Amino acid sequence: MGNLCFGIDIGGTSVKLGLFTQDGELLDNWEIPTRKEEKGSFILRDVAASLEKKIAEKSLKEEDIIGIGIGVPGPVKEDGTVIQCVNLGWGIINVAKEMKALTGFETKVGNDANVAALGEMWQGGGKGYQDIIMVTLGTGVGGGVILGGKIVTGSNGAAGEIGHITVSYDEPESCNCTKHGCLEQFASATGIVKETRRMLEGSTEASSLREVSSLSAKAIFDAAKEGDALALRCVDQLGRYLGIALSHVAAVVDPEAFVIGGGVSKAGEMLLDVIKKHFEQNVMLALKGKEFKLATLGNDAGIYGSAKLILGK
């Protein structure tokens, strides 16, 4: 029985690959471009070729390898079938079956946000917990649910879509999902910028943000840390929407901890403090006192989680 595995995170621009021990030590990691031509038909073949090259480079034997874990940007069924990955050009494809045919190695597949959550539970900000919710605050708001150390996928592989919990019933603009008032519209990096612009345009209040040529989530948090009153209100509103949404999630899942990742999480403890404040104000008594942690694996969370996917317990 081998003691090594590969964790793979397939993104729209690049594929990240990692070689791991079964104890979670990352021995090597590298990237290859994602070739999306011809409906993404090259992607898995390129991955298989890259793995074959790495095995030769490391002088590994077939029996050294436990298997392959893969994260993909779309819903995944239990048998490794991807329903659709628009960013990759894929329709319905059984990635697990295709990859095993190409490499000979056992393969397990999961949604990229879910495997990132699994990675953070295994070796990142959620280490030491078995029941966590991962919230990724980037261009959108992603999520992953881990219970008993296992990913919760749901019947269609779409569990954990925290970004599409409705937090405002008065929002006139539609979300990318076609709904109105989704958490993603307020708590993503683009959402907080949009809401801050609304506040700036709706008042004449003095703010250092009026001098910022290119408004960003980082600029807003930096201004808040300097005590800018308008920026502080923007950050508080972000925390309020997140706190409300996560109080709803807690009522269904009752996790031990929430792990916050993505670009906005670089704001650090200030972000955690404001989320926790509003979470505590909105959650029922039996669910108070949850832990809030920052993700620590960054862009490697996906390869860690994919590796854990094939390793199981």
Give the model's pLDDT for residue 17. 98
Give the model's pLDDT for residue 1. 62
Is pLDDT above 90 for 142?
no
Q: E-strand spans in 79-205?
A: 81-82, 93-94, 107-111, 132-137, 141-147, 150-151
Closest listed residue to residue 228, CA positions, set 197, 204, 201, 206 = 206
What pTM does this model have? 0.90
Give the model's pLDDT for residue 73. 86
Q: How confident is the model at residue 160 (pLDDT cuts 50, 70, 90)?
A: confident
* Residue 133 contacts residue 143 (beta carbons within 8 Å): yes
What single-letter DSSP state applies at residue 182? Answer: B
3-state secondary structure of 261: strand
Is pLDDT above 90 for 69?
yes
* Mean pLDDT calculated for residue range 162-175: 92
Give the model's pLDDT for residue 87. 82
Strand order in the sheet with 107-111: 26-33, 14-21, 4-10, 65-72, 107-111
Give the model's pLDDT for residue 74. 83
* Residue 109 contacts residue 310 (beta carbons within 8 Å): no
**Tens-digit pLDDT profile for residues 256-285:** 999 999 999 999 999 999 999 999 999 999
